[in-house]
Structure 1
């Protein structure tokens, strides 16, 4: 029994370290993005190329890793309390070098694989996002006007739909518009819920460091987050039922993910692991759809 117990402890420690490493390297967001890109392609009934998956993975990593590099710039590792920020601050120069290399590789791939119109649209989207982060870097109060959680949610929707819409552009019709709306509402809402959960779990640390989030602005979010998550999941399920005119796997999978994110509020789950597990819950709809569809 003692051997088994110690074995379970070692396995739990290994998994925790692995999850923290994935989060520290900013790999969780890109993995979530390609999972939802696949869901979008299925919803719109369009094919995806391997290069399109790779470009989305790289673009998402560049955005999230870049944001964390900006947050950790010039911060002493001894005063950083959030694990992912501490990891980035401690490995700032190697991660910055990797970021520059992958940025150049992504730029070359984009020029080789996309037509001029698609490139200009992509540059515009990334330019607007870079502009937002640039303004926030100079004027932190800008995050009070437009919360980061909302920007992350909007970027996620645009990013995962970019290539599926390019593939479906020859079949634009009312059915496509309905499919886009049916996908975008729960996808964006689930990402917003994910960000809200992370913000609520890190609210005290963010407040101490002067970070502006929805949880620091609205303290009630921290107290009522589990209820918010469960209610959001039920609303997503009902809306999808109305749009699809039947109960279906997609609505159930999104509802399940939202409820699971709410359950992560449990005190039995280590605080450091909650943000990483919340990101993992975003892949639940993809897993359910892959198994049951």
Structure 2
């Protein structure tokens, strides 16, 4: 099994070099400008944030963070307050699934592994018990807090997720593309779409089951965020299979711009029907889509880990709405 390659130390900036000479006594502090010191301090802060953000991705904490954010945002859009155990179950379940997915990918594959797979495999003695503990904690919360009727409803989505996960990682892998070959074109990214549907519905179900009437209000936000989750997965797939921009078709940027336009138009419709929160949620989805488009244009200037981290960070735009209240 391959291991993570050694990351070369970044080159020192002028401010860093100047400060280093001051600390070593080669020059006096008066010869270093305050702007250089400020630049060095900012570089240290930015470097620390980049390290933490990359660790957030490498430990698979990105997916549960996005899942909880979206679940709370869907509830916010229709003025529903979710009990705290629901986001906790969603976070623990999502984390377990993503840890398992990356460990199984790392165990089975010998080529085309990414940093996240190498990281999980190198630390599998930590991740395996963590995933088991996370799954048991989620199960305990379900048995203690979730009503039996809700368990029945959620079991359908759980069964679909398990079937997809098993099909992808079993010895007799089920090809999603071949399964839908008679329905969709051969080059359609069906796998990414299924991930988007399952992920988004898992975030929306807690709110949908608590809506007594007017569930149609959630239709546009759910469809928008399914498309956003699909775009996220598709962009990652394109960037990792064609790291050089000239090898890409440019469809990712086009898809991002189309989704942004549709989401903004849908936000206008929602506001026109006096659904201000739903309109704001759709606008945040449009912002995420636009940011993914910008990332696609600048993807070659970022490291693979940082690119993968940022493309998940931009999915957290609904946090702005939750912060505002």
Q: TM-score, normalised by structure 1?
A: 0.83
Q: Which among 53, 62, 65 is matched to residue 96 of structure 2? A: 62
Contact 2:192 2:230 in 1 (8 A): yes
What residue is the counterpart of 1:102 in the other structure?
A: 134
Aligned pairs (5 A) from 1:4-15: 4-15=38-49
Cα deviation for residue 3 of structure 1 reads: 3.2
Partner of residue 284, structure 1:
317
Which one has the largest radius of gyration? 2
Structure 1: runs of 5+ lacking an equivalent? 206-218
Q: Using the TM superposition, give the Cα deviation of residue 253 of structure 1 relative to its aligned residue in structure 2, in angstroms.
A: 2.0
SS at match of 2:304: coil
Give the Cα–Cα distance (whole angstroms) in 1 for the partners of residues 88 and 59 of structure 2: 17
Specify which of 173, 194, 203 is matched with residue 160 of structure 1.
Answer: 203
1:71 aligns with 2:105: yes
In 1, the alpha carbon distance for the partners of 2:302 and 2:258 equals: 21
Aligned partner (choices 272, 281, 292) of residue 250 of structure 1: 281
The alignment covers a number of residue pairs equal to: 271
Provide closer, same or farther for how the CA distance between residues 124 and 249 of structure 1 changes in structure 2, counting only shifts above 3 A.
closer
Whether 2:157 is the aligned partner of 1:125: answer yes
Q: Distance in 2 between matches of 1:229 and 1:264?
A: 10
Q: Which has the higher helix share?
A: 1
Q: Is this contact kept in 2: 1:229–1:258, CA < 8 A?
A: yes
Which residue does 1:142 correspond to in 2? 175
Report what 1:227 is aligned to. Answer: 254
TM-score normalised according to structure 2 size: 0.76
Q: Following the alignment from structure 1 to structure 2, what is the Cα–Cα distance between the partners of residues 104 and 291?
A: 31
| Alignment-derived partner of residue 266 in structure 2 | 239
Name the CA distance, whole Å, in 1 between partners of 2:144 and 2:318.
33
Shift of residue 127, structure 1, vs aligned partner: 2.3
SS in 1 for 2:305: coil
Q: Distance in 2 between matches of 1:241 and 1:194?
A: 24
CA RMSD of aligned residues (A): 2.4
- Please tell me whether residue 201 in structure 1 is matched to residue 239 in structure 2: yes
- Residue by residue over 1:66-120, the C-alpha shift from the partner in whole angstroms, topping out at 9 and shown as x without a partner, is 21121112557xx665221111111112101111111112111101111222223
Distance across 1 between alignment mates of 2:48 and 2:224: 33
CA contact (8 A) 2:106 2:113 kept: no
Partner in structure 2 of residue 210 of structure 1: none
1:10: how far off?
2.8
In 1, the alpha carbon distance for the partners of 2:158 and 2:308 equals 25
CA distance in structure 2 between the partners assigned to 1:88 and 1:231 by the alignment: 35
Q: Deviations over 1:48-80 (max 9, x none)?
A: 11111211111111222221121112557xx66
Secondary structure at the counterpart of residue 105 of structure 2: helix
Superposition deviation, residue 5 in structure 1: 3.5
Aligned mates of 2:324, 2:234 — CA distance in 1: 29
Match of 1:16 among 50, 61, 65: 50
The answer on 1:189 being equivalent to 2:227 is: yes
Extract unaligned runs of 5+ from structure 2: 1-34, 181-189
Q: Give the conservation status (yes or no) of the 8 Å contact 2:67–2:199.
A: yes
| d(CA) in 2 for partners of 1:47, 1:282 | 21
- Contact 2:208 / 2:215 at 8 angstroms: preserved in 1? no
The SS at the match of 1:202 is helix
Question: What's the secondary structure of 1:153's corresponding residue?
Answer: helix
